[in-house]
């Protein structure tokens, strides 16, 4: 006999656990199945960053200063040109945290609210009734069991095990996130050799290489990171190029961490009958940094409100009754992310010389720009700033510091980015209009030159 829960979540990462906690607090019965044993969850990463304002925004208790998940508050970051010049300081606080103990704290909060965690349990397949999802079959060691539910949530991370198992015609894209649609991150945890080296308390970034130096969890430590498209080999080779130019104080490497984040547009719909996907399984990472924790919580919050509303009215949640999740997400954060993602090809193609010039002239990399990007996911351009950028680019063209090819690519990408953002802001109010909308979106993504499945 199958057990029964209102909500079944696959994956106890930051997205699944947060959503489960929200739903349990609203009084629903929630099971979260997680393939790893409790202590192993989240150990694929160690140190991660959370925007400091996120704790209040998402109602998560801030860690105590002596708690195992807290490292420090990083008050500012500085971005540099490829040779480490023209610093742009950004005062925007992040909490530097440790993921495994943070998740353990989240598990305790969720359990207190009534979530039933099933660790060491793996999702095997979905079950259907009358062609619609009715639950899932799960594996725990040699045991097999089944859970019936009103809603299955895919929060299984970049593998998207549930979404990718759905039939082609279920009303949601079932693509796998391809090798060329990932951001390959390599992190070296280092200890400074000089005992007098001041503690690394802020982040330094070099946008040309997509490398950074960040605080670690101990006094004499730091993290040297790089993110690249393509492969880990490419990320490592960029890191070598970076080390050839930028001199860091002497250090020893304690450990190297490698991981991938999605780097592609989300599915055009995040919901289907009896189903919703969130977190990395839905490609919700910030296109400008690859971070995905808080951006997923935004969708989780919307989904918690809409699922609660729908469950009060209906026994079974159809795509129609969940549609507001799509609408609210894509019209706001989704539209901003889509607009930024469309500019990635032109930004990524800027040469070393051009990147240096943009820093020197304070064109698009001023303090306000980075702050806006972190806080609002968009850059607020005043007319004065726009004129300044335009003049700098024209001067760059005349002096040869900026090429015509890059200028044309930039103008094209800004135009298509605006169109993509507007289209997402005009996301359809019902599933019947999705095919027509999708056709327009496909055309714009092609125009942007972003490879999208």
Ligand X SMILES: Cc1cc2nc3c(=O)[nH]c(=O)nc-3n(C[C@H](O)[C@H](O)[C@H](O)COP(=O)(O)OP(=O)(O)OC[C@H]3O[C@@H](n4cnc5c(N)ncnc54)[C@H](O)[C@@H]3O)c2cc1C
Instruction: Give residues in contact with ligand X (CB under 6 A).
Output: 10-16, 33-36, 41, 45, 48-49, 122-123, 155-157, 159, 161, 185, 187, 257, 259-261, 279-280, 285, 291-294, 296
Could you tell me the smallest distance in angstroms from the CB atom of residue 39 to ligand X? 12
DSSP structure string for 70-99: EEEEEEEEEEE-TTS-S-EEEEEEEEEEEH
Give the strand pairing for 132-140 and 122-129.
antiparallel
Q: Which residues lie across from 30 on neighbouring strands?
A: 7
Could you tell me the smallest distance in angstroms from the CB atom of residue 290 to ligand X? 6
Map residue 146 onto helix, strand or coil.
strand
Cα–Cα distance, 315 to 389 (Å, whole number) = 55
Q: Please state, in angstroms and as integers, the Cα–Cα distance from residue 312 to each residue in 54, 78, 300, 323, 412, following that order.
A: 28, 48, 18, 15, 47
Task: State the helix-helix crossing angle for 335-348 and 404-425, rounded to 10 degrees.
Answer: 170
Please work out, in degrees rounded to the nearest 5, the angle formed at the alpha carbon of residue 374 by the alpha carbons of 371 and 379. Answer: 65
Residue nearer to ligand X on the CB measure, 106 or 423: 106
H helix intervals, 66-185 = 99-112
Output DSSP code: residue 64.
P
Half-sphere exposure of 347 (CA within 13 A, CB side): 18
Could you tell me the smallest distance in angstroms from the CB atom of residue 245 to ligand X? 23
Map residue 452 onto helix, strand or coil.
coil
CB 431 within 8 A of CB 323: yes
Residue nearer to ligand X on the CB measure, 177 or 363: 177
Output DSSP code: residue 38.
G
Residue nearer to ligand X on the CB measure, 47 or 444: 47
Cα–Cα distance, 384 to 79 (Å, whole number) = 23
Residue nearer to ligand X on the CB measure, 90 or 260: 260
Secondary structure in 3-state letters for 256-280? EEEEEEECCCCCCCCEECCEEECHH
Could you tell me the smallest distance in angstroms from the CB atom of residue 237 to ligand X? 18
Residue nearer to ligand X on the CB measure, 300 or 410: 300
Residue nearer to ligand X on the CB measure, 114 or 259: 259
Residue nearer to ligand X on the CB measure, 156 or 374: 156
Cα–Cα distance, 427 to 332 (Å, whole number) = 10
Residue nearer to ligand X on the CB measure, 293 or 393: 293
H helix intervals, 292-430 = 293-313, 319-329, 335-348, 352-360, 367-376, 383-399, 404-425
Map residue 116 onto helix, strand or coil.
strand
Residue nearer to ligand X on the CB measure, 126 or 434: 126
CB 297 within 8 A of CB 18: yes
Residue nearer to ligand X on the CB measure, 8 or 311: 8
Could you tell me the smallest distance in angstroms from the CB atom of residue 36 to ligand X? 5
Which residue, 263, 270, 376, 284, is CA-closest to 327? 270
Residue nearer to ligand X on the CB measure, 46 or 401: 46
């Amino acid at each position: 006999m199958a057990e029964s829960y209102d909500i079944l979540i696959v994956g106890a990462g930051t997205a699944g656990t947060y959503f489960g906690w929200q739903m349990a607090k609203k009084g629903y019965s929630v099971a979260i199945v997680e393939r790893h044993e409790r202590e192993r969850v989240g150990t694929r990463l160690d140190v991660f960053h959370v925007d400091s304002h996120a704790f209040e925004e998402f109602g998560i208790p801030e860690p105590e200063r002596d708690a195992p998940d807290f490292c420090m508050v990083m008050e500012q970051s500085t971005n540099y040109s490829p040779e480490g010049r023209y610093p742009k300081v950004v005062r925007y606080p992040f909490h530097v945290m440790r993921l495994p103990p943070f998740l353990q704290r989240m598990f305790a909060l969720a359990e207190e609210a009534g979530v039933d965690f099933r660790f060491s349990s793996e999702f095997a397949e979905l079950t259907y009734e009358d062609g619609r999802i009715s639950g899932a079959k799960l594996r725990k060691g040699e045991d097999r069991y089944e859970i019936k539910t009103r809603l299955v949530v895919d929060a299984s991370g970049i593998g998207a095990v549930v979404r990718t198992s759905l039939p082609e015609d279920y009303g949601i894209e079932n693509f796998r996130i391809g090798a060329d649609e990932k951001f390959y991150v390599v992190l070296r945890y280092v200890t400074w050799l000089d005992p007098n080296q001041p503690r690394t308390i802020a982040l330094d970034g070099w946008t040309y290489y997509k490398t950074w130096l960040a605080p670690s969890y101990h006094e004499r430590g730091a993290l040297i990171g790089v993110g690249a498209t393509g492969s880990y080999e490419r990320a490592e080779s960029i890191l070598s190029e970076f080390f050839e130019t930028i001199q860091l104080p002497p250090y020893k490497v304690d450990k190297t961490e490698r991981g991938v984040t999605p780097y592609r547009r989300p599915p055009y719909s995040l919901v289907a009958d009896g189903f919703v996907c969130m977190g990395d399984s839905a490609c919700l990472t910030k296109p400008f940094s690859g971070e995905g924790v808080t951006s997923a919580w935004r969708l989780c919050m919307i989904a918690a409100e809409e699922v609660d509303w729908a469950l009060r009215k209906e026994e079974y949640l159809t795509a129609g009754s969940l549609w507001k999740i799509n609408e609210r997400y894509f019209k706001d954060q989704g539209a901003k992310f889509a607009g930024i993602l469309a500019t990635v090809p032109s930004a990524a193609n800027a040469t070393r010389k051009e990147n240096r010039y943009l820093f020197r002239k304070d064109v698009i990399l001023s303090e306000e720009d980075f702050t806006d990007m972190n806080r609002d996911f968009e850059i607020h351009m005043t007319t004065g700033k726009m004129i300044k950028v335009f003049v700098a680019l024209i001067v760059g063209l005349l002096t040869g510091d900026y090429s015509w090819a890059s200028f044309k690519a930039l103008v094209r990408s800004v135009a298509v980015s605006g169109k993509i953002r507007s289209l997402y802001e005009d996301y359809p109010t019902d599933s019947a209009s999705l095919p027509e909308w999708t056709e327009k979106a496909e055309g714009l993504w092609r125009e942007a030159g972003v490879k999208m499945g």
